Every structure is written in C-alpha cells, then in structure tokens.
Amino acid sequence: MSIRLRTLTEEQLESFKTDGYLHVKGLFSEEDLRAIENTFEKISHTRVPGFFEPDLNGETDDPLKRYPRVMHPHRFNETAMKYMLHKPVMEVLADLYGEEALAAQSMFYYKPPGSRGQALHQDNFYLQVEPGNCIAAWTAVDAANEENGGLLVVPRTGDYALACPDLADSNESFTNHYVKPPKDEKAIPVIMDKGDVLFFNGNLIHGSYRNKTKDRFRRAFICHYANASATQINGGYRPLYREDGTSVDLEANPNGGPCGIEFSGTPFYH
C-alpha cells in the first residue's frame, strides 16, 4: 500500500485551523484556466433549465439577470466535473481533512460590472455536512479585489457556531441571508490573483463586495466538499463524488439546523 505525500506544510495546516481559511497559489495551470474560461463563455450564451437561466434578451437593469451564477455545472458539463475533481485541489483537501474529500457541489460566478455582492454567511448552514464539515475551494478565474467584488472573510470564525441568519440588504446582496460577525471581529478583503484558490471551512463567516468597476468581471469557479467520514448532507447536494469520479450517496440530513425545522427561505443551494 503506497503512502500519499502531504501537500501542505505544518504552517499552512495550522493557519487553516486558526483562521478558518487558507490561500493557495499555483493549483491551476494556464491551460486549466483557459479550459474553464472557454467552457463557461460558451455556457453564458445558452439556457440550461434548472442550472443556468439567464435573461438573454438584454431587457433588464440587473447584470445578474443576464449573468446569474451557474449551479451544479458538473451535472451537465464534463469540464466542470473534471475541475471539480482537480487532483491538486483534492490533494490539498485531503490534507485539510486528514482523509479523502468528497465533491458535493460546483458553481460558476460571472459577477459582471455593477453586480451586487453576497452578504456574510456560513456555507455549512446550507450543506449540512455531519459529522465533520464542508470545505469550499474558491478559484479566482479573474483577479479579485475590493473593486471588482472580491471575497470578504471574518478570520478566526472557522469554529464559530452556525447561526440562524438575519435578513440581508437586498440593495447590496443578491442573496437574502446575513450572519453578523462576533463582537470584535471584522470582515477583511482577500486579494487574489488569477488562478489562486481560497479554501475555507463551512463555519467561516464570509461574503463578497459589490463589483464597482465598469469593465471588469470577477469570474470564479467554486466547489464544495465533504469529508469521507461524513454520513449526512443536505439532500440537494447528493450524490457526491470521489476523486476517481465514482459516486457516493450520503444520507439526507433531517436536522433543522440553528433555525429549527420550520425556518423558511433556506435555499438548497448556496
């Protein structure tokens, strides 16, 4: 039996444990990024019912109507499936989990100029991975900063309990949930170059800025994962996939979460 060599250093593992996130460079080649860009450029001119439903008539003032996020593209596109299971990403995840990672979700954000951001939230509120936690791998397809709608994270909230969200400001957020940071903790920007990947756990409070530019998209390929020892996940994320592409079907999590079972408005998909 071969022993897998670890990808991350002790310092990186400790940083993820302490801060709840880890910024990693060099996991995608220029060729990888071109393949992702070309794939989602083609998708942007189509409609895929249930996954991507843009307004292709140009009759809206909301840029996110023309370029909504693509939900679960791995369910209808081979390139999305390939990069959801991208070996360098899966190796980092295995180090962070201390075991194999299972892919649960893929998304692509175009985030054109003028787009609203996403209010602060916690991913495992939606994915409901138990026992364990989800981890996101957020890949910058364009460089991302405070001007074009880059990420915001609240450091040291990776072990902060899942909170029942408040209502977000719809003028600034395209989603309706907002989680207030704990006292004395503030959201900070994560400046990312093209091809960088930010890994963060499902309890970390995070969100994004509005894209304030007039001519810069902030495209991102984002996937969520569960630890192989998890037994339950929100039913909307099944099946999950191993790195070799074989499927795994965890139990649907019946837990109502921090808001209770009667809470309304919780989307299946983050």
Dihedral angle, C-alpha 196, 129, 13, 270, nearest 10 °: 20
Q: What is the pLDDT of residue 3?
A: 56
pLDDT tens-digit series, residues 117-147: 999 999 999 999 999 999 999 999 999 999 9
Q: Is there a contact between 225 and 86 (Cβ–Cβ < 8 Å)?
A: no
Q: What is the pLDDT of residue 237?
A: 97
Q: What is the pLDDT of residue 267?
A: 46
What are the structure tokens assigned to 64, written together? 């996110």
Q: What is the pLDDT of residue 60?
A: 75
Residue type, 251: E
Q: What is the pLDDT of residue 241?
A: 98
Backbone angle region of 81, left / alpha / beta, with phi > 0 → left and psi within -120 to 50 → alpha = alpha
CATH number for the domain whose boundaries are 16-253: 2.60.120.620
- Its sign, for the CA torsion 76, 63, 138, 169, is negative
DSSP 8-state code for residue 261: T
pLDDT tens-digit series, residues 51-67: 999 999 877 789 999 99
Strand pairing class (251-252; 232-233): parallel
Q: Distance between CA 216 and CA 39 in Å, rounded?
A: 19
Q: What is the pLDDT of residue 261?
A: 57
Residues of the chain with pLDDT under 50: 1, 262-270
Q: What is the pLDDT of residue 255?
A: 85
Q: Is there a contact between 265 and 166 (Cβ–Cβ < 8 Å)?
A: no
How many other CB atoms sit within 10 Å of the CB of residue 222? 21
Parse the chain into domains and list their residue ranges: 16-253
